[in-house]
Amino acid sequence: MATGSIDDQLLSLSSTHKSVTWRSPSNIAIVKYWGKHGIQLPRNPSVSFTLDAAHTDTTVSFVEKAIKNNEVSIDFYFEGAPNEVFADKITSFLEGLDDEFSFLRDYEFKIESSNSFPHSSGIASSASAMSALALCLGSIEKILTGWPTNSTDFLDKASHIARLGSGSAARSVYPKVAIWGTHADIEGSKDLQAIPFDSELHDSFKGFHDDILIVSADEKSVSSRAGHALMEGNPYAPVRYEQANRNMIATLEALKTGDILAFGKILEEEAMTLHALMMCSDPSYILMKAGTLAVIDKVRAFRAETSLPLYFTLDAGPNVHLLYPDEVADQIWPFIERELVPHCVDGKVIRDRVGSGPRLMS
């Protein structure tokens, strides 16, 4: 595994390499991206914690085609087995990237991907998978052309490419905290890629826990893609986008100053708003399960009783992310284990933390 900064990792890539492996993490949004337009452009800005334990390892090996043709040629293996469904999706994704990478039709690629979390755990893998693939493609560009020569250009492009695969993946390439989407009052923020925020993060958040409770591992009844699309007709959408813009400023302030109370309030408001938007779209749908609500009730009661800073958030699914500072982990984990883990499928919990971003492994 290459160690050191991303700059050092880039330097370790030379023209003799014929394959690259990246480990890239998932992320959990504090202010949620929900609603998009154009080519994966967000309707509102979002901010997330980069995770650590929930990650994807992707290796891309490449050999120059003996006989040139104009096709994108890939073999795709998921968890060690050939996977045609994923192969087709990745092929169409790569076919759309000619303007970004000129080498894609000149090589044969073998792509091997595996997740640290079980496939059937209900954890969305698109953020870690698409960011890992984007980082591999960027590294191959570096190997073949020598560009880029610095980590800023490398990560800018990786975030941009990851976004084209899955919006939230744009944020996974940066350590600890990343912002994605234009906000008039956030310098450097843009729709085309995420930007890092970790240098401004208060120490209180650096060791934050995120225990992911797997309340249901069933396939979702409505995909994220369909969910984003339904925001276009949602009568509350304009109000939601204003709220997200306000919550961005308040969240960044809390992350800078270490205001855990303000952070927790917005975290939960965002989760409830996301799911309320689903319930009042046309057609209406519900992704929370009975276990999701039971966990939320218990978290609120626990907080009222103990005043300990334990907060929940949700993705577009039934699983509950429980966020809390490391300093109180000893007081909080026994409660989670005793009262909340029984709501999980086979007692499944992914004990995650705020993480230091992707790593070049090969």
Of the residues 44, 315, 322, 340, which one makes contact with ligand PMV according to CB under 6 A: 315
Decide: is 224 part of the binding site for ligand PMV (CB under 6 A). yes
Q: Which is nearer to ligand PMV, 47 or 143 (CB)?
A: 47
Decide: is 58 part of the binding site for ligand PMV (CB under 6 A). no
The two beta strands, 73-78 and 107-115, are: parallel
Alpha-carbon span 159 to 37, nearest angstrom: 18
- Whether 335 and 155 have beta carbons less than 8 Å apart is answered as no
Decide: is 313 part of the binding site for ligand PMV (CB under 6 A). no
Of 15-23, 162-170, 188-196, 319-327, the window that binds ligand PMV (rule: CB under 6 A) is 162-170
- At its nearest, how many Å lie between ligand PMV and the CB of residue 165? 9
Q: H or E element: which one contains 244?
A: helix 237-257
- At its nearest, how many Å lie between ligand PMV and the CB of residue 17? 30
Of the residues 56, 121, 126, 292, which one makes contact with ligand PMV according to CB under 6 A: 126
Decide: is 116 part of the binding site for ligand PMV (CB under 6 A). no
- Whether 241 and 43 have beta carbons less than 8 Å apart is answered as yes
Alpha-carbon span 302 to 284, nearest angstrom: 31
Of 1-9, 87-95, 148-156, 163-171, the window that binds ligand PMV (rule: CB under 6 A) is 163-171
Q: Which is nearer to ligand PMV, 10 or 161 (CB)?
A: 161
Q: Helices 126-145 and 151-165, interaxial angle, to 10°?
A: 130
- Whether 115 and 129 have beta carbons less than 8 Å apart is answered as yes
Place of tokens 């800023």: 152
- At its nearest, how many Å lie between ligand PMV and the CB of residue 315? 4
Handedness of CA 265, 268, 274, 275 (dihedral sign): negative
Phi then psi dihedrals of residue 337, to 5 deg? -65, -40
Decide: is 33 part of the binding site for ligand PMV (CB under 6 A). yes
Of the residues 22, 24, 26, 32, which one makes contact with ligand PMV according to CB under 6 A: 32
Q: Which is nearer to ligand PMV, 61 or 126 (CB)?
A: 126
Give strand pairing partners of 24: 56
Binding positions for ligand PMV, rule: CB under 6 A: 29, 32-34, 46, 124, 126, 166-168, 224, 228, 274, 315-316
